Chain A
Amino acid sequence: QQQVKQSPQSLIVQKGGISIINCAYENTAFDYFPWYQQFPGKGPALLIAIRPDVSEKKEGRFTISFNKSAKQFSLHIMDSQPGDSATYFCAASRQAAGNKLTFGGGTRVLVKP
C-alpha cells in the first residue's frame, strides 16, 4: 500500500512553462513534506520542504502548495528551464518516527528548449 501517491509519472513542458506535480498522502500524522530532485546517475537531493502549519512555500522558481484538509501537496516549477529536466520525488515523514521518509513514485520532467 503506497502511502504517498504522486502524479503524473512523466511530463513534458516547454522552456519557460510551468511544471506541476501533485502528491496525496494518507497518514495524517505526517508532519514534514520534502521534495527531492534526482538527475540520472545521482542520488536524490533536497529541493524544498514544507511543514503543515503553512499553506505555501516559495524558493526561487520552486513553490510548494499544501492543502492539509485534502491531504495533498504540489510542486510548481515556474519558468521551467532545460536544466530542470530531472526526476522529482515527493516524500513525507513523521519527525517523531525517526525522520523515516515515505516517497511517492516519482515524476520524470523533461523541459524542451
Chain B
Amino acid sequence: NAGVTQTPKFRVLKTGQSMTLLCAQDMNHEYMYWYRQDPGMGLRLIHYSVGEGTTAKGEVPDGYNVSRLKKQNFLLGLESAAPSQTSVYFCASNYQGPQHFGPGTRLLVL
C-alpha cells in the first residue's frame, strides 16, 4: 500500500495563478483532510471531508476550494494564489483510527 500520496511535491506560482493539489489514499478511509504548515503555527486545518461528495470548512478555508468526487481522492484548489499562501500543504486520511499524513507539497507563491 502506498498510503497517502500527494502531487506535486514542489511548485512555484506567480501571484494570481491557479493550481490544484492532488491527494490520493489507498486505505479506503472515509475522512480526508487538508492542512497547511507554517513555522511556529503547527498545522492548521483548511478543509476536510467525511465522505465522497462531502466537504466542510476548517480553521483557515479562505482562498481555497476542495472537491471529493471519488472516495480515494481529495483535491485542494487555489483559484488566485497569493504570497500568504506560501506554505507546506499536507493531506491526511483516517476513519476510526489515527490520521495518516502524506509527504507534503511545498508551495512558493511569488
**In the assembled complex, which residues on chain B have CB atoms less than 8 Å from the CB atom of A45?**
101
Dominant SS among interface residues on chain B: strand
The answer to whether the Cβ of A6 comes within 8 Å of any Cβ in the partner chain is: yes
The tally of residues in A whose CB lies under 8 Å from a CB in B reads: 24
Given the known interface contacts A103-B42, A103-B43, the answer about A44 and B50 at a Cβ–Cβ threshold of 8 Å is no
Contact at A43–B94, with CB atoms within 8 Å? no
Given contacts A45-B101, A99-B99, A100-B33, contact A89 B45 (CB under 8 A): no
Question: Across the two chains, which residue of chain A brings its CB closest to B6?
Answer: A43
User: Which B residues are CB-close (under 8 A) to A41?
Assistant: 103-104
Q: How many A-B residue pairs lie within 8 Å, measured between CB atoms?
A: 54
In whole angstroms, what is the CA distance A48 to B45 when docked? 21
Known: A99-B94, A105-B40, A106-B40. Is A43-B48 also a contact (CB below 8 A)? no
Assembled-state Cα–Cα distance A95/B45 (Å): 16
- How would you classify the secondary structure of chain A's contact residues: helix, strand, loop or mixed? loop
Instruction: Chain B residues near A100: list those with CB within 8 A.
Output: 33, 45, 48, 58
Contact partners of B41 in chain A: CB under 8 A: 2, 105
Contact B40 A46 (CB under 8 A): no
Q: Is B90 an interface residue (CB 8 A)?
A: yes
Minimum Cβ distance to chain A for residue B16 (Å)? 29
B4 within 8 A of A: yes
Which residues of chain A from 1 to 15 have any CB-CB distance to chain B below 8 Å in the complex?
2, 4, 6, 9
Write the nearest CB–CB distance from A23 to chain B, whole angstroms. 10
Output the nearest chain A residue to B58 by Cβ-Cβ distance. Answer: A100
B74 beta carbon closer than 8 Å to chain A: no
Contact flags (1/0) for A69-113 with B, using CB distance below 8 Å?
000000000000000000001010000001111111110000000
Top 8 nearest A-B pairs (CB, nearest first) are A43-B101, A103-B42, A46-B98, A103-B43, A105-B42, A44-B101, A106-B42, A43-B103
